[in-house]
């Protein structure tokens, strides 16, 4: 899949890029997937292979994990509304291929995406409650 097929959009004068769940599932090579939700939410269930980085440490940890600025990175939150600032922060650091998951984890689940739990080590599909 070519990264050029990702959805560019403009919000409040700033261009951001989103990737739809089906595009993320087919993306080759697999991007670095970052879960930007609270740690307790991540432990309950996250996209398979995702790493948890809170917004507080994102800028300091990503260069350790992805030293190359052309590394494809997808960041997601619960419903796709709170990770735009994280995407923008990484773009300011020089990362060229940073995207947010359109609709967040909720859209991923609605599209039938696989989720794993850090507590049980099991994979599952289905709805996810933020209780």
**Residues 89, 3 contacting (CB under 8 angstroms):** no
126, 109 in Cβ contact below 8 A? yes
Q: Which of 66, 77, 83, 115 is catalytic?
A: 77
Is there a catalytic annotation at residue 83?
no
Is residue 34 within 8 A of residue 98, CB to CB? The reply is no
d(CA 43, CA 37): 10
Q: Which two tokens stand for residue 41?
A: 């939410």
Active site residues: 77
């Amino acid at each position: 899949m070519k990264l050029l097929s990702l959805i560019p959009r403009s919000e409040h004068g700033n261009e951001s890029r989103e990737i739809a769940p089906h595009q993320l599932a087919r993306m080759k090579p697999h991007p670095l997937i970052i879960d930007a939700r609270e740690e307790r939410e991540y432990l309950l269930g996250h996209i398979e292979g995702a790493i948890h980085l809170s917004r507080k440490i994102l800028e300091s940890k990503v260069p350790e994990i992805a030293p190359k600025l052309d590394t494809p990175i997808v960041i997601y939150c619960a419903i796709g509304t709170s990770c735009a600032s994280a995407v923008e922060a990484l773009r300011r650091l020089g990362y060229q291929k940073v995207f947010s998951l359109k609709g967040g984890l909720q859209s991923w689940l609605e599209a039938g995406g696989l989720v794993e739990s850090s507590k049980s080590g099991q994979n599952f599909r289905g709805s996810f409650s933020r209780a």
